[in-house]
Structure 1
Amino acid sequence: MRSWWMQTDGAHSALELRDGALPVPGPGQLLVRMHAAGLNRGEFILAHGLHKAGAAKAIGMEGAGEVAQAGAGSRFKAGDRVMGRCGGAFAEFALMDEREALAVPANLSWEQAASVPLVFLVVHDMLVLQGRLRAGEWMLVNGVSSGVGVAAMQLAKALGARVIGTSGSAEKLSRLQAQGLDVGLCTRGADFHDAVMKATADKGVNLVINTVGGTVFAEDIRCMAFQGRLATVGYVDGVLKAEIDLQALHSKRLTLFGVSNKLRSPEQRAEGVPRFVAEVLPALADGRIQPLVDKVFPFEQLEQAKAAMEANRHLGKLVLAMSPA
């Protein structure tokens, strides 16, 4: 079978399409014939530490397809439509941990399904499991036009919250406002405090989703309400350090937390899946949340898809569609 690999020397990376043996599922695993896989910016950023210098790794972190073979005692059978987080998803076949596998709602295309597992599970973790976002509260998303940003906005609106989003593109903000974004701020800088306070009647936001990094961290702290929460989920700006206003942290009883699967065990990654199935999957199935896919690339064009992601012109998710078997 064919699969995409990434080689890095620690400073540069290269993509390579390889031929390899078909994986064999063990207990608790599914062999999935992949139909589509979602791109995620973090797996291409060397600073995120997902790739060891001098090593090559099969890449792709989420996808959707048909079960080709199930391990002993599986609740799935051959032919079932599944989506899930899985390593090596940019391939014709991939192994998926059954605990991470989700039944694909009938209304979702393969491309839509492939854009759900990683990003929406991360967003559910940020907004619900850790962020405790409630109806009527305000949420601020730095980089709202990213895949994570769009999904965060969609889930927040489904929960009844109000959303402020920043983006450097007025056109993207306009499109998102048509989909429910309450306040769009056209900026890539740390200059949004006054506008946020005006929108929230000087109360500040209850939850911040920082997909950008250190350049906006201090401004985010300034924008937080009493007992506000701040999630750090990415640092596309490459700035890994920022000052913390300890007085604000102390007096406003703020909560700061990170959202990453890098150091989590398979058991820890699977812990949130049952609540996701109960709380988010129904909204995907009945259309209250519709995954936003910007563009689909053929399987052979991962390099072009990666370049499109780095050009930052997309809104929502970029997806790789596998060639017919």
Structure 2
Amino acid sequence: MITGEQDLTQAVLGATDGEGVDVALDHVGGPTFAACLPATRTDGAVVNIGRLDQAASTVDLDALAYRHLRVAGVSFGFTRPAELGHVIATAGKHLLEAVADERVRPLIDTTLSFDTAAEAAERLRSHQAHGKIILTVP
């Protein structure tokens, strides 16, 4: 797991013998999105899914161009039904195994009971959450 004290690009390149990852899924935005570009292998892809930090980002266009990267943006709240179906089917096919063997793990901020959903929503709106908020149903 990479923390705020580590350099994302260097940590990923170190873990991949300098090659970078095939696909970077960025849930943070801002400077983290920019750090994903040089951490992605040549002909790889960077997908921005969330903006937990901020929507604006300044990127190094050389990292984008020299690595021949593909960049995509996804917003599940505004995704068209056919696209969402494709995303879910693809995720099921390619990600479930990685989740099952814990190569991919969600970052959980907190777990709250369903009756405190308003508190969870406020935590998200105020940008206090660092990861997912789980609501349990009795």
User: Normalised by the shorter chain, which TM-score bucket?
Assistant: 0.5 to 0.7
More helix by share: 2
Aligned partner of 1:312 in structure 2 is 129
Aligned partner of 2:42 in structure 1 is 226
2:74 counterpart letter in structure 1: V
1:244 correspondence with 2:54: no
TM-score normalized with structure 2 length: 0.68
Aligned partner of 1:279 in structure 2 is 93
More strand by share: 1
1:206 counterpart letter in structure 2: D
SS in 2 for 1:207: strand
Instruction: Return the alpha-carbon distance in structure 2 between the equivalents of residues 225 and 308 of structure 1.
Output: 35
How far does the alpha carbon of each residue in 1:54-105 deviate from its partner, in whole angstroms, 9 at most, with x for none? xxxxxxxxxxxxxxxxxxxxxxxxxxxxxxxxxxxxxxxxxxxxxxxxxxxx
Aligned partner of 1:185 in structure 2 is 2
Aligned partner of 1:215 in structure 2 is 31
How far does the alpha carbon of each residue in 1:238-263 deviate from its partner, in whole angstroms, 9 at most, with x for none? 2x222333333222111101112344
SS in 1 for 2:11: helix
* Deviation, structure 1 residue 224: 1.5
1:264 correspondence with 2:79: yes
SS in 2 for 1:244: coil
The 1:229–1:296 alpha-carbon spacing in structure 2 relative to 1, beyond 3 Å, is: same
Runs of at least 4 residues off by over 6 Å: 289-293
Contact 1:296 1:321 in 2 (8 A): no
How far does the alpha carbon of each residue in 1:151-187 deviate from its partner, in whole angstroms, 9 at most, with x for none? xxxxxxxxxxxxxxxxxxxxxxxxxxxxxxxxx2221
Residues 156-167 of structure 1 mapped to structure 2, 5 A cutoff:
none
Consecutive unaligned residues of structure 1, counting only runs of 5 or more, are 1-183
RMSD: 3.6
* Deviation, structure 1 residue 316: 4.9
1:266 counterpart letter in structure 2: P
TM-score normalized with structure 1 length: 0.33
Instruction: Return the alpha-carbon distance in structure 1 between the equivalents of residues 46 and 22 of structure 2.
Output: 8
Instruction: Return the alpha-carbon distance in structure 2 between the equivalents of residues 255 and 237 of structure 1.
Output: 22
Task: Compare 214-223 and 303-312 and name the one that shifted more.
Answer: 303-312
Percentage identity across paired residues of the two chains: 19
How far does the alpha carbon of each residue in 1:108-144 deviate from its partner, in whole angstroms, 9 at most, with x for none? xxxxxxxxxxxxxxxxxxxxxxxxxxxxxxxxxxxxx
1:254 correspondence with 2:81: no
Larger radius of gyration: 1
Instruction: Return the alpha-carbon distance in structure 2 between the equivalents of residues 264 and 305 of structure 1.
Output: 23
Instruction: Return the alpha-carbon distance in structure 2 between the equivalents of residues 216 and 254 of structure 1.
Output: 16
The 1:186–1:276 alpha-carbon spacing in structure 2 relative to 1, beyond 3 Å, is: closer
Residues 8-87 of structure 1 mapped to structure 2, 5 A cutoff:
none
Contact 1:227 1:252 in 2 (8 A): yes
Instruction: Return the alpha-carbon distance in structure 2 between the equivalents of residues 278 and 233 of structure 1.
Output: 17
* Deviation, structure 1 residue 278: 7.0
Instruction: Return the alpha-carbon distance in structure 2 between the equivalents of residues 262 and 198 of structure 1.
Output: 35
* Deviation, structure 1 residue 289: 7.3
2:12 counterpart letter in structure 1: V
Contact 2:9 2:38 in 1 (8 A): yes
